[in-house]
Amino acid sequence: MGILLRFWETKNLMRFRYRHTFFPYIFDREVKYADGLAQKICPAPLSDDLVQMLRGYAIQAHTLLGCRGVFRSDFIVDTSGDVFFLELNTIPGLTTKSLLPKAAEAAGYTFPALLDKIIVLEQEERI
């Protein structure tokens, strides 16, 4: 999930399904960026309660770690509903295949509008 922190604005959550190409079955850079290996589903088909819980965890981690600005949090939710926090990325990718722009696009933002919002947030942080 990508979050523009100042506004506590969470972009749509994204779900990944990927094909195992080799053992060990790791979601690595090849699987993430190669065409046809990973299916990105955005918005993720999750309950509102789960989305709110993940949002809360992401914002809490960002705040407790003293981070600022745009970030992406990665979680795994297993089949029994247990949540595992994987990482907080304070430098999310901004390529055409990156997660934050894809989630922002699904929320109705153009890529230039997302960049404008990031710039405004950074300027406000420096004031």
What integer is the mean pLDDT of 16-28? 68
**pLDDT of amino acid 20:** 64
* pLDDT reading at 6 higher than 60: no
Q: What are 35-67's pLDDT values in tens digits?
A: 777 777 888 888 889 988 998 898 898 889 988
The model's confidence at residue 95, banded by pLDDT at 50, 70 and 90, is confident
Nearest one of 34, 2, 1, 42 to 18, comparing CA atoms: 34
* pLDDT reading at 27 higher than 80: no
**pLDDT of amino acid 5:** 46
Helix (H) or strand (E) holding 38: strand 38-41
CB contact set of 84 (below 8 Å; sequence gap of 6+): 75, 76, 77, 78
pTM: 0.74
Rounded-to-integer distance, Cα 34 and Cα 57, Å: 30
The model's confidence at residue 21, banded by pLDDT at 50, 70 and 90, is low
Domain assignments of the chain as residue spans, ordered by start: 2-126
Rounded-to-integer distance, Cα 85 and Cα 77, Å: 9
Nearest one of 14, 10, 67 to 43, comparing CA atoms: 14
What integer is the mean pLDDT of 85-97? 84
**pLDDT of amino acid 7:** 42
> Given the DSSP bridges, would you call strands 83-89 and 15-18 parallel, antiparallel or unpaired?
unpaired
CATH number 3.30.470.20 is the correct assignment for the domain at 2-126: yes
